[in-house]
Structures are given as structure tokens and as C-alpha cells.
Copies of this chain bind each other. A is one copy, B any other.
Amino acid sequence: MRVGLVGGAGAVGATLLRVLEERAFPVESLRILATRRSAGRIVRFRGAEVRVEETRPESFAGLDLCFLAVPGAQASRELAPLALRAGAAVIDKGSAFRLDPAVPLVVPEINGGLVEPGRPALLASPNCTTIPLTLCLHPLRRAAGLRRVIVSTYQSASGAGRAGIEALWSESAEAVRGRSPEAAAAPDRGDPAAGAPSVFPRRLAFNVIPQCDRFSDDGYTLEEWKLIRETRKILGIPDLPISATAARVPVFVGHSESVFVETQRPLSAEEARAILGTSPGVRLQDDPAAGVFATPLDAAGSDLAHVSRVRRDLGFDHGLHLWVVGDNLRKGAATNAVQIAELWLRR
């Protein structure tokens, strides 16, 4: 398999290379493409050194399969047609085509059947919060139907790529070195953005920012709309009543989600646990009395949606609460894309 990867210098790109190695994906040749700024860098893959090339219109010639892990939808919109025209299948980690009715939006454990093996095609991988959420909602829906969903997220800095990781790192080091907890906790008076790196709208270190991605006119962020619309598409429920609040927390890797689900038919917490405990792609970690629940530090490095604190709502008859944590770089991005590639490869 002649494989291309655009965005190999980013956080998701680097994780994607690691996952291709781990899963022994049949890579015969590997071409790593990036912007001019990153061209010339050396990336290691299976012990060999691969030189990052600048992406050009002719870069896709001869590829069977190309992963796109580029920031921003516009880059994918330009590159995907070039790769497809060159005869490659394209798996896009970005948001450009996810809601296109002609493009399958794939979580392999849920709707892997949408992938037609071997045919050059454009396939989209969902947003990093959507994947763990749908892995939990899908089996609950099959068991009891879904009436409503409300999600509040606790998203890590790496959701904003390598720049996000570096911003949190430098802000934290700055706050810790030679300062007191009181100073680190002091309000940023005056210009709230003073000294904040441009990647986040406020200082993230020792703070919570109720904004991921840009705001749309209705007061929801694009990140919240991604979670809402992609979940509806993957589950095949176009009118599913679902709302979301997405917040950024000072964590490096791992997105957490506090999820309220109202089912159509009653489902006890015990039944929900039994269902989730045997669902593909899900790891149930739910024995709070024994200290068993998932945190981002526990889920980092994992390819599963970790589910904890499954319990009945105290107001809704058919309401359940879940605490869901996933590694946003792995199953939330790289691993899901490689799993899609494996389905595409299957003959």
C-alpha cells in the first residue's frame, strides 16, 4: 500500500504514524506532506527516516491511500480533490466533508459497513468529542431509543494541536516558576488576553475556557455544532434533540464529557452498565466506591471510550448520566482514521 499523510508534523499526524506502526498497517511506501514551513523535517517511521515534503498538486501521484490531518477545513477542501483525482482513497480527519451527504462519516464500531473496500473514495473521520460520545450512545439507542442528549465537555489542550500543547506547557511553566499559588490564581485584570498565546482566547493554565473553536451567531461554538450535527449523522437520527457546552480545561491529552441521556424506554443504571460493558470500542470503568472511574490521565494512550459513573437522573424517569473520557489524539483522531483505512483495505 502506497500511503500518503498530509500534516505529518502535527500532533494528530505524529500519533497517526505511531498507530500505523502499532497496528502493522501494510505500508509499502510512505510520503509525508506538510506546509513549506515544515518541509525538510525528518520523521521516523518503522526505524527509518522519512523526509517531510512540501505539499504540491503533483504530490499525490501514485498513492493508493492518503490521510489528511491538516488544521482548518479549507486545506482539506483544496487537497482532497487533488488526491482523489490522482486515484487515491482519502481519509480526512478534518471537518470539511463530514456533513456532506455523499461522504460517509465513519466510526468503525458503529457504521463501518459504509466503507466500500478498495474503491477510491472520500471518507471522513469525526470530531474528537463525537467519537467517544457516539460509541456510548449507539448501544444505548439500540437498547432503549434516544429521546434527548445534553453534553458538557472538558476538552484538553491537544484538541488545538501541537500549538495548544505548547501554549498550555509554557503558560503552566510561567505560572509555576518563582510564583505563588496566589499569584497563579490571581485574576487577569485589565486586558484578559494580555500575554495569552493566540491559540486560546484566554490563559488556559489553571483556568477553564468555555469556548472551543469560534462562536456562531446563535451563541453556540462551531465545536458544539460539530458534536451535535456529527452525532446526528453517525446515529442516523437527523432530528435528535441534542445540545452541548464545550469547555477547554488545562489538561494535555484526553477529552472528558458529562453526558445526560434520556432514553425512550426505561433503562436502569445496571442495564446501561451491562450494555456498555459489552459494547465494542467501550471500556466500562465504573465502581466508584472502589475508586474505579476514568480520568484523562487514565485514558491517555487508550483506543477506547472509557465510561464511568453510570447512574439514574434524579429528575427524568428515563434519564441517565455518564462520564465519558477518550484520548482525543488516538481514538478521537488517529486510531479511528487508521481503523477506517483497515476497513477500506479489507477484501
Interface residues of A (CB under 8 A from B): 148-150, 152, 154, 158, 165-166, 168-169, 172-173, 175-177, 181, 184-188, 192-193, 201-203, 206-211, 215, 217-220, 228, 240-243, 245, 247, 249-254, 256, 258, 260, 269, 288-289, 291, 293-302, 308-316, 319, 321, 323
Contact = CB atoms under 8 A, between A and B. Distances in A.
Contacts of A187: 297-302
Contacts of A253: 185
Given A186-B301, A187-B297, 13 more contacts: A150-B150, A150-B315, A158-B185, A172-B206, A173-B176, A188-B297, A206-B296, A207-B295, A210-B256, A219-B309, A247-B258, A250-B251, A260-B260
Contacts of A315: 148-150, 240-243
Given A258-B258, A291-B201, A311 B166 contact: no
26 contacts: A149-B315, A154-B249, A169-B176, A172-B172, A172-B176, A173-B176, A176-B176, A185-B252, A185-B300, A186-B300, A187-B301, A188-B297, A202-B295, A203-B297, A207-B251, A207-B295, A208-B251, A208-B296, A209-B295, A215-B288, A215-B289, A228-B314, A243-B314, A247-B256, A247-B323, A258-B258
Q: When A and B form their complex, which 10 residue pairs have the shortest distance between CB atoms, in order from nearest?
A: A241-B315, A185-B252, A219-B311, A152-B258, A152-B152, A185-B253, A215-B288, A187-B300, A245-B258, A169-B181
Contacts of A149: 315
Nearest to A147: B315
A210 to B, nearest CB: 5
Contact of A211 (B293, B299, B316): B293
Q: How many copies does the complex hold?
A: 2
B288 A207 contact: no
Contacts of A300: 185-187
B208 A154 contact: yes
B297 A250 contact: no
Given A215-B289, A250-B250, A150 B313 contact: yes
User: In this complex, which of A148, A166, A260, A314 has the most chain B Cβ atoms within 10 angstroms of its Cβ?
Assistant: A314
A241 B203 CA distance: 36
Nearest to A262: B315
B258 A211 contact: no
Contacts of A184: 169, 252
A93 to B, nearest CB: 20
Contacts of A165: 181, 185
A150 B256 contact: no
Given A169-B181, A314-B242, A206 B297 contact: yes
A165 to B, nearest CB: 5
